[in-house]
Chain A
Amino acid sequence: MKRFVGFVRKEFYHIFRDKRSLFILFGMPIAQILLFGFAITNEINNVDIGILDQANDVTSKEIINKISASKHFSIVDIIHQESSIESIFKKGKVKAVLQFENNFGNNLIKEKQANVQVLTDATDPNMASTISNYISSILKKYQQELNKNVSVDYQIVPQSRMVYNAELKSVYMFVPGVMTVILMLVSAMMTSISITREKEQGTMEILLVSPLKPFQVIIGKVFPYIFLSVINAVVIVLLSIFVFHVPVNGSLFLLGIESVLFIITSLALGILISTISATQQTAMMISLMGLMLPTILLSGFIFPISSMPLPLQVISNIIPAKWFIIIVKGIMLKGIGIGFVLKETFILLLMTLVFIGVSVKKYKIRLE
């Protein structure tokens, strides 16, 4: 036990004396969560649009007023000819143009149908479809107001409500995702680097020619990082609660336990990486390329798994982050208890055992 404590103390010296690793440990998580939380967003606010009002009547004016009153759009350009639409798109002044046909109001009353064209700049496809949806819904609302006193036969009225995130805040989605990526990256990368550093500096040679057992070395290496990653997890949760107002509807205790489990999974993965790489650089490349990209792309963090092609959906099952994201979203947003995430917890546990088993088996008790 004394040996183990001595080993852990040495690990803490390494961590606290290396400014670079300290920065990665604590600077990166905070920077990432703030960046993702503030900068990356799917919501649209104050999008610049242009208006080409060929009708210029009461009805079109009313619609324009409604649009400019919404916080999503601001009208920055009034165009007078159809030919100038393209030029303002090319200048990038506006993201969308709303074009009312001639006699818009008259057509609506006399012909019972009037046309308005919504042109959007689809160089950013997500943005374009969101804008077009928002405008359509404003138009639809206006139409409903017009039809208030008229009875329409056969009408389907969808009553949609967004549960768990009524305001559709994208930060709700990013917090669990970023937390997962950070814990995975910090835990796996830092342990794999710290074990390979011993190999690279030749100190592994002396550690091997000592009474320390392989499991003592491995546990001694990961122990400080369990501790530090838990601090990280706490910081991330606090930031998301107090800065981004993401609720934690479920039990904080359960969230803590599940986070520790995921941290251990990631650490085990880090050990596995270190057993197959000889230098710190290889370990870092494997952690970054082999872990970060799949974790971001295939875990359901940004892109929904259900819309991926089948082979990728199958691959996503072996990404630990996928299961942890389900757990975190469940606990934080839906407020569910352990009963609903048993399967995911069990899968993470199984992965951890496999990683540890393989690493102990692959851990070299000699130099080759």
Chain B
Amino acid sequence: MGITISNISKSYGEITALSDISFDVKPGELFGLIGPDGAGKTTLFRILTTLLIADHGQATVAGYDVLNDYKSIRNSVGYMPGRFSLYQDLTVEENLNFFATIFGTTIEENYDLVKDIYVQIEPFKNRRAGKLSGGMKQKLALSCALIHKPKVLFLDEPTTGVDPVSRKEFWEMLKRLQKKGITILVSTPYMDEAALCDRIALIQDGNILEIDTPNAIVSHFPKPLYNISAHNMYNLIESLTNYEHTYSIFPFGEFVHYTDKRHPIDKASLKTYLEFQGLTDIKIEKTQPTIEDTFMELAK
């Protein structure tokens, strides 16, 4: 009843959007599709929601084939496209009512499913959807995608352009929905959200880099990782880039994430080198890799 994807490929003319993608999403799983813009996430969503036809490969959603049983899929999934796609000139309540009606249900019938989300926007139910803030728009869109009690929920970048507080709330809602037995496939360009999924697939340029639980993916990071900081970030990056033993560097907040070609690392000589480059306040500490580090490493 989840999602199976086998050997899906899709190209637009010369551009390959997806090349030979295969993975499964288990029933009731919260599965994340993590990758930068243009990685092919939206194309995959559109193939699974029967909006596009793949060039090669098969896929099933909730047990239905995306090509032959597209009508059954359209009856049983909820889809929230990346772009805000509700009627801006309809009020919050009218939008929700409309989507309930076209799926042959009513707000009352499935109210408990959307209640947690809808209560937050209910005070604005007579406001036109176009006049809502970014976070409220996403909550309304999620309510509309949920109102017919879908078996599988597709959320394409639901938190892009949403403030951090709303993002956090949004993910808490997804967790609650998952408990109600809904399979959720969600895509996001934010690596910090990846850790909240049961399993994630890292995707770039139409290829799956890795599929696993967030913890396992992090543990696959091949080398010891160090946080390096100094008083001058720009100089620090410059100096490390030119350092002969540097394997990878990656700016991460106030630190630089650094891996070394040598094993084990010679911390003292690295520090001496940096001091020689005129840097002060140098700190070098071992740290835990994040999904972002793994992604950057795999994407190399």
Interfacial residues, chain A to chain B (CB-CB below 8 A): 2-3, 5-7, 9-10, 13-14, 17-18, 201-203, 205-212, 365-368
Contacts and interface: CB of A to CB of B under 8 A. Distances in A.
Contacts of B170: none
B50 A366 contact: yes
B248 to A, nearest CB: 39
A137 to B, nearest CB: 60
A201 B50 contact: no
Nearest to B104: A3
B98 A205 contact: no
Nearest to B150: A209
29 contacts: A2-B101, A5-B101, A6-B97, A6-B98, A7-B101, A10-B87, A10-B94, A10-B98, A13-B89, A14-B89, A17-B89, A202-B85, A205-B81, A206-B81, A206-B85, A207-B102, A209-B49, A209-B50, A209-B79, A210-B74, A210-B99, A211-B75, A211-B102, A365-B70, A366-B50, A366-B51, A366-B53, A367-B51, A368-B52
Contacts of B74: 208-211
Nearest to B80: A206
A316 to B, nearest CB: 40
Nearest to A206: B85
Contact of A206 (B53, B79, B104): B79
Contacts of B53: 366
A211 B51 contact: no
Contacts of B243: none
Nearest to A2: B101
A302 to B, nearest CB: 38
Contacts of B144: 206
8 shortest interchain CB distances as A-B pairs = A6-B101, A202-B85, A209-B79, A367-B51, A17-B89, A202-B83, A211-B75, A209-B49
Interface string B58-97: 0000000000001100110101010111111110001001
Interface string B89-126: 11000100111011110000000000000000000000
B68 to A, nearest CB: 13
Contact of B77 (A9, A202, A209): A209
Given A7-B102, A210-B102, A211-B103, A366 B85 contact: no
A208 B73 CA distance: 11
Interface of B: 46, 49-53, 70-71, 74-75, 77, 79, 81, 83-90, 94, 97-99, 101-104, 144
B76 to A, nearest CB: 9
Contact of A205 (B51, B71, B87): B51
A201 B52 CA distance: 18
A5 B85 CA distance: 21
Contacts of B101: 2-3, 5-7
Given A211-B103, A212-B102, A205 B85 contact: yes
A367 B87 contact: no
A3 B94 contact: no
Given A10-B90, A211-B74, A367 B102 contact: no
A209 B52 CA distance: 11
Scoring B70, B89, B94 by chain A CB atoms within 10 A of each residue's CB, the highest score goes to: B89
B52 A366 contact: yes
Contacts of A207: 102
Contact of B102 (A3, A18, A368): A3
A3 to B, nearest CB: 5
A10 B77 CA distance: 22
B110 to A, nearest CB: 15
A366 B50 CA distance: 7
B67 to A, nearest CB: 10
A92 B245 CA distance: 94
Interface core residue of A7, A211, A365 (most chain B CB under 10 Å): A211
B87 A14 contact: yes
A65 to B, nearest CB: 67
B129 to A, nearest CB: 11
A9 B53 CA distance: 32
A211 B79 CA distance: 13
A328 to B, nearest CB: 35
Interface centre among A10, A18, A212 (most CB of B within 10 A): A10
A110 B87 CA distance: 88
A18 B89 contact: yes
Contacts of A201: 85, 87-88
Nearest to A365: B70
A208 B104 contact: no
Nearest to B98: A10
Contacts of A3: 101-102, 104
Given A10-B94, A14-B87, A202-B81, A208 B51 contact: yes
A148 B70 CA distance: 90
Nearest to A5: B101
A18 B90 CA distance: 11
Contacts of B94: 10, 13
B222 to A, nearest CB: 40
A25 to B, nearest CB: 16
Contacts of A13: 87, 89-90, 94
B51 A203 contact: no
B104 A2 contact: yes
B41 to A, nearest CB: 15
Given A7-B102, A202-B81, 15 more contacts: A2-B104, A3-B102, A5-B101, A6-B102, A10-B98, A14-B87, A14-B90, A205-B85, A206-B81, A208-B51, A209-B50, A211-B71, A365-B70, A366-B50, A367-B46
Contacts of B99: 206, 210
Contacts of A203: 85-87
Contacts of A10: 87, 90, 94, 98
A367 B81 CA distance: 13
